[in-house]
């Protein structure tokens, strides 16, 4: 009985999930997502004046959303297909009677699930570490922690899908992905004006702006930026995921991989 | 299988070419490979792996066409369901155990969970790895890794088993057992196509060979014809001796010897049409001349020599 797209994807995904737990790359991505929590804990211990809500919004915005989410997604995203090519194990998958798109889907979904779990842990630890800050304010509210978690999860899904597709299309996906992360996501998203709406980062921040409370107003430029409406931002991110998956699957169905002996 | 299917070639290549930029992988290759066991012979760089990758559907032709079991193999699940491929590259998912690896690939081939487990164990049994079934592949020796690659290629009982240098890295015992396994597969009705650059490995399994050289088809036929070609030419031997010059003088007059060359590094190359006389007389001659032989080897056993003969040149 030949497996269809969904059956093969599910089988690959279940195997891939157990392999991820043994993968150093996956744990490195988790480490990146936990890093803001560690920084929060160090800052809270070292500085008497920093407040819980100030620390969580500042690190959530700049460190988690701005650095950890794009880099952790890059690390696991390019590995979805490119790692199999680098390891020369893709032969075994390509020469089985399953739709090639299932290789992308079956390896992308576990990567995103892993990163979601890491994001949830990272956000919870960040908030917990920030709560130990000794400055006085109202504490970390749901209006701070839930938008942060939402944006982080949406971010890893979008970036991972994008980088997974990149891994199918280009040979040196990690280098291209790093260049994209720093030049487009890192630089363009912080420029004033409408250009920043070309970045995923802007739409993630729009999710925070659309669902967060006033605590986020203390971020520089937050109040003066024209954020996308919540629905539009979510729609753009969903479309990016969809287009990346379709483009990646289309290319994978046609691509030949020249693997050295 | 209908009679037409059973007589149809398992592989049909027509004007097949594959280039890697300016480098020729295979070129203008037209060949029909029949059912049964066939050896794909050629020296390193002959295009064997490229041909097998085209055949397995890992690569697409740059020009021409290839059909495997009646259909183009590239990204073709219906061909892949009937084909088992053992790649040359030593690449496995090192975090998996042997049985997990074979079972996972079997499930991708459409086997149910329980059937996949028992077929995986049976395949590992056939390559004598069942005792190591629960060990991580990362801890396997080179020979064990080769055997597990063979196991995944045969586990789903494909009609055509394609193996790229399957005996590489195997010790003599495992090599013997693997050759026996290929015989069994052929006896069970599977077609086996395997590549090698070692002539006697092919002879141990089949008389049918396809010879590639520099990406082109050189010959297709029986291995006995190749042996006959070898016998029509003088055999050449390399001898390294303490006093090569003196040994050369003694060998010149020996029956059957056509030429004796003394290389600048002291290596003696002897060409003879009567190798049996040389082999019998050499110890006595060397001893009498006090030449002190350090090494002696045939220069004609390698495939390069066969190919040079076929191409019309002297080795």
What's the pLDDT at A135? Answer: 82
User: CA B59, B60, B64, B69 torsion: positive or negative?
Assistant: positive
- Residue pair B166/B150 in contact (Cβ under 8 Å)? The answer is yes
In this complex, the residue of B20, B77, B91 whose CB is nearest that of residue A88 is B91
What's the pLDDT at B99? Answer: 97
B77-99, pLDDT tens digit by residue?
A: 999 999 999 999 999 999 999 99
What's the pLDDT at B6? Answer: 65
What's the pLDDT at B3? Answer: 60
Q: What confidence category does residue B2 fall into, taking pLDDT thresholds of 50, 70 and 90?
A: low
What's the pLDDT at A2? Answer: 79
- B residues 66..125 contacting A (CB < 8 A): 74-75, 77-78, 80-81, 83, 85, 87-89, 91-93, 95-96, 100, 104-105, 107-110, 112
Helix A24-46 with A101-130: angle, nearest 10 deg: 20
- Residues of B with CB below 8 A from A3's CB? 107-108, 110
B282 vs B198 pLDDT, higher one: B282
Residue B304 has pLDDT above 90, yes or no: no
What's the pLDDT at B77? Answer: 93
| SS3 assignment, position B158 | coil
| B91 contacts A97? CB cut-off 8 A | no
A44-61, pLDDT tens digit by residue?
A: 999 888 999 999 999 999
Look over chain B and give the mean of its residue pLDDT values, rounded to a whole number: 88
Q: What confidence category does residue B221 fall into, taking pLDDT thresholds of 50, 70 and 90?
A: confident
B110-141, pLDDT tens digit by residue?
A: 999 999 999 999 999 999 999 999 999 999 99
What's the pLDDT at B291? Answer: 83
Any CB–CB contact under 8 A between B138 and chain A? no
What's the pLDDT at B309? Answer: 66
B142-193, pLDDT tens digit by residue?
A: 999 999 999 999 999 999 999 999 988 888 888 889 999 999 999 999 999 9
- Residue pair B88/A261 in contact (Cβ under 8 Å)? The answer is yes
What's the pLDDT at B315? Answer: 43
Other beta carbons less than 10 A from residue A4's beta carbon: 12
Q: Closest chain A residue to B49 measured between Cα atoms? A: A261
A10-52, pLDDT tens digit by residue?
A: 999 999 999 999 899 999 999 999 999 999 999 999 988 899 9
What's the pLDDT at B306? Answer: 65
Q: What confidence category does residue B314 fall into, taking pLDDT thresholds of 50, 70 and 90?
A: very low
| SS3 assignment, position B302 | coil
Mean per-residue pLDDT, B220-248? 81
In this complex, the residue of A11, A19, A22 whose CB is nearest that of residue B108 is A11
| B75 contacts A95? CB cut-off 8 A | no
Look over chain A and give the mean of its residue pLDDT values, rounded to a whole number: 93
* From A81-90, A188-197, B30-39, B283-292, the region with the lowest mean pLDDT: A188-197
Task: Look at strands B191-196 and B160-164 and give their pairing.
Answer: parallel
Token digits of residue B241 = 């001796």
- Residue pair A39/A59 in contact (Cβ under 8 Å)? The answer is yes
In this complex, the residue of A22, A91, A253 whose CB is nearest that of residue B58 is A91
Any CB–CB contact under 8 A between A24 and chain B? no
- Residues of A with CB below 8 A from B59's CB? 256, 258
Any CB–CB contact under 8 A between A2 and chain B? yes
Q: In what order do the strands lie in the sheet with B257-262?
A: B257-262, B267-272, B235-241, B293-298
The rounded percent of chain B whose pLDDT value lies above 70 is: 91
Separation between Cα atoms, residue A200 and residue A216, nearest integer Å: 19
Q: In what order do the strands lie in the sheet with B37-41?
A: B83-86, B160-164, B191-196, B37-41, B208-213, B216-222
What's the pLDDT at A175? Answer: 95
pTM: 0.83
């Amino acid at each position: 009985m030949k497996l269809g797209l969904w059956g093969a994807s599910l089988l690959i995904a279940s195997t891939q999930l157990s392999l991820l737990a043994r993968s150093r790359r996956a744990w490195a991505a988790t480490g990146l997502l936990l890093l803001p929590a560690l920084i929060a804990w160090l800052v809270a211990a070292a500085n008497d004046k920093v407040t819980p809500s100030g620390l969580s919004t500042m690190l959530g915005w700049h460190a988690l959303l701005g650095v950890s989410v794009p880099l952790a997604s890059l690390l696991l995203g390019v590995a979805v297909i490119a790692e199999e090519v680098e390891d020369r194990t893709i032969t075994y998958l390509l020469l089985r009677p399953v739709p090639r798109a299932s290789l992308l889907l079956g390896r992308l979904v576990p990567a995103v699930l892993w990163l979601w779990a890491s994001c949830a842990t990272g956000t919870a630890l960040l908030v917990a570490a920030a709560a130990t800050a000794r400055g006085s304010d109202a504490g970390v509210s749901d209006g701070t922690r839930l938008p942060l978690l939402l944006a982080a999860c949406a971010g890893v899904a979008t970036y991972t899908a994008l980088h997974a597709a990149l891994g199918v299309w280009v040979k040196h996906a990690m280098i291209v992905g790093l260049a994209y992360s720093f030049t487009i996501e890192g630089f363009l998203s912080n420029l004033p004006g409408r250009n920043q709406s070309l970045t995923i980062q802007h739409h993630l921040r729009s999710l925070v702006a659309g669902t967060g409370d006033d605590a986020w107003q203390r971020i520089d430029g937050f109040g003066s930026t024209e954020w996308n409406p919540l629905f539009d931002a979510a729609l753009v991110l969903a479309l990016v995921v969809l287009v990346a998956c379709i483009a990646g699957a289309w290319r994978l169905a046609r691509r030949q991989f020249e693997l050295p002996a | 299988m209908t009679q037409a299917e059973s007589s149809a070639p398992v592989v049909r290549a027509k004007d097949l070419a594959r280039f890697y930029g300016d480098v020729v992988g295979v070129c203008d290759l037209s060949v029909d490979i029949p059912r049964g066991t066939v050896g794909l012979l050629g020296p390193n760089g002959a295009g064997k792996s490229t041909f097998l990758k085209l055949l397995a559907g890992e690569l697409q032709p740059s020009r021409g066409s290839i059909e495997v079991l009646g259909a183009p193999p590239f990204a073709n699940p219906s061909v892949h369901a009937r084909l088992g491929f053992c790649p040359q590259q030593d690449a496995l998912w090192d975090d998996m155990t042997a049985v997990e690896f074979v079972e996972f690939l079997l499930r991708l081939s459409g086997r149910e969970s329980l059937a996949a487990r028992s077929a995986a164990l049976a395949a590992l049994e056939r390559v004598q790895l069942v005792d190591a079934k629960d060990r991580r592949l990362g801890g396997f020796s080179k020979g064990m890794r080769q055997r597990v690659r063979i196991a995944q290629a045969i586990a789903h009982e494909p009609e055509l088993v394609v193996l790229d240098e399957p005996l590489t890295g195997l010790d003599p015992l495992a090599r013997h057992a693997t050759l026996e396994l290929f015989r069994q597969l052929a006896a069970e009705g599977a077609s086996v196509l395997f590549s090698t650059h070692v002539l006697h490995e092919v002879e141990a399994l089949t008389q049918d060979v396809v010879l590639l050289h520099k990406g082109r088809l050189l010959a297709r036929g029986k291995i006995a014809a190749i042996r006959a070609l070898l016998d029509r030419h003088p055999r050449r031997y390399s001898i390294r001796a303490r006093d090569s010059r003196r040994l050369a003088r003694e060998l010149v007059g020996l029956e059957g010897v056509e030429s004796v060359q003394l290389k600048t590094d002291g290596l003696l190359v002897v060409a003879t049409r009567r190798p049996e006389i040389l082999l019998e007389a050499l110890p006595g001659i060397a001893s009498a001349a006090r030449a002190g032989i350090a090494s002696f080897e045939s220069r004609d056993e390698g495939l390069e020599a066969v190919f040079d003969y076929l191409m019309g040149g002297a080795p």
